[in-house]
Chain A
Amino acid sequence: MYSQGLIGSGSENEESEAFLARFQARIDAEEKIEPNDAMPLAYRKTLIRQIGQHAHSEIVGMLPEGNWITRAPTLRRKMALLAKVQDEGGHGLYLYSAAETLGVSREEMTEELLSGRAKYSSIFNYPTPTWADIGMIGWLVDGAAIMNQVPLCRCSFGPYARAMVRVCREESFHQRQGYEIVMTLAEGTDEQKEMAQDSLNRWWWPALMMFGPHDADSSNSDQSMLWKIKRFTNDELRQKFVDATVPQAEKIGLKIPDPDLKWNPEKNDGAGGYDFGALDWDEFWRVVKGGGPMNRDRIAARKAAWENGRWVREAALAHAAKREERAATAKVAAE
């Protein structure tokens, strides 16, 4: 609550050019912005939107994997998956709290998710029909998320950066457990290997889309870079991900489903990198706007969780009020 009502920090609630220049100078000097500091309204709004979406992605992201907890093939896999899904829930909570320092309430953010006004990562609108998908999510989806999240540890907004440090530290096991699952399948029977390849075929392109539109089509990108909320562009991060992931696929004998994939020694300023094929942006926008295979299920599941939990929230508040009342009565009686 320490930030609410302090927006603009008293004396500086007018966004004069001098104020904006001072703010940018702080950013350029790599100073962190903290919740009580004066900040442009657009900076605050951008962060509320981005951190909120990030938090929603963690929470909705529990659903595709939760689908396999009861059917994990061994106890070892089940423990790992439970621990991972539990982590994702925790990551959502860290992020919601970081957004709340900017003056938005948890209830408002929840309402925005349930009503469809707030987005979450498009990747979670794809189904997980096979066990290989659980490995693929850890390897590719968490791999892509890590690519994105590591630079966010240096984001200019202090609470977001600190939440990301915590998230990244915990995230490190997620990708490894995923890759271990995929590697085990790839070394297994023909059917298991085929299951892994089929899953890679389905997840590769959606994973690349996680980085968002091309830089030229990304409306928020330039300003976010200027404010050092983002440190790399969507296309830069996507390229890093492809370059890191292709050798990992080769190592276990899986084939990236892209006929245009080719090593290009000129890329990355002569360090070399992979050229890759065009992404299906129509699919991306269709899924972002609600037309993916699982959008309806995901939101329905979140709504059901919210509704089914209502009596618990109400009961807890009623119980707290009763205890407070009893304590007050006891105090009066004692005097």
Chain B
Amino acid sequence: MATHLTPLWEVFIRSRNGLNHKHVGSLHAADGDLALQSARDVYTRREEGNSIWVVRSEQILASDPDKAAETFEPAADKVYRHPSFYDIPDDVGHM
């Protein structure tokens, strides 16, 4: 059952210099060069960007959705990480 599947790649596009590359989608390609070419054709036909990153999908490790609560909940009760937690008189001005 040794079927050779064409690998899956995740595509990231920078819309212009100064901004982060953002994930836009994925595609299948045999290697990195082909993935970059396909990404250009699939995702930048209307000047969506000036830079492309492709990453093999299998190389991306994702957090476990079933553990989202225990992963992210600890930040929920830490209001003291926000500026509005501190009592500064209004007439001190912007701080």
Seen from chain A, the residues whose Cβ lies within 8 Å of a Cβ on chain B are 2, 31-34, 36-37, 76, 79-80, 83, 87, 143, 158, 161-162, 170, 172-173, 175-177, 179-180, 183, 244, 247-248, 251
Contacts and interface: CB of A to CB of B under 8 A. Distances in A.
B89 A251 contact: yes
Chain A contact surface mostly:
helix
Given A2-B53, A36-B51, A83-B80, A176 B20 contact: no
Given A161-B18, A176-B86, A80 B80 contact: yes
Interface size grouping (class) on chain B: 20 to 34
Interface in B36-95: 51, 53, 78, 80-83, 85-89, 91-93, 95
The prevalent SS among residues of B at the interface is: loop
B28 interface: no
Contacts of A176: 83, 86, 88, 95
Interface of B: 14, 16-20, 51, 53, 78, 80-83, 85-89, 91-93, 95
Contact of A34 (B14, B80, B83, B85): B14
25 contacts: A31-B18, A32-B17, A34-B14, A34-B17, A34-B51, A76-B80, A79-B78, A79-B80, A80-B80, A80-B86, A83-B80, A87-B81, A158-B17, A158-B18, A161-B18, A162-B18, A172-B83, A173-B81, A173-B82, A173-B86, A177-B80, A177-B86, A179-B95, A247-B92, A248-B95
Contacts of B91: 251
B83 A173 contact: yes
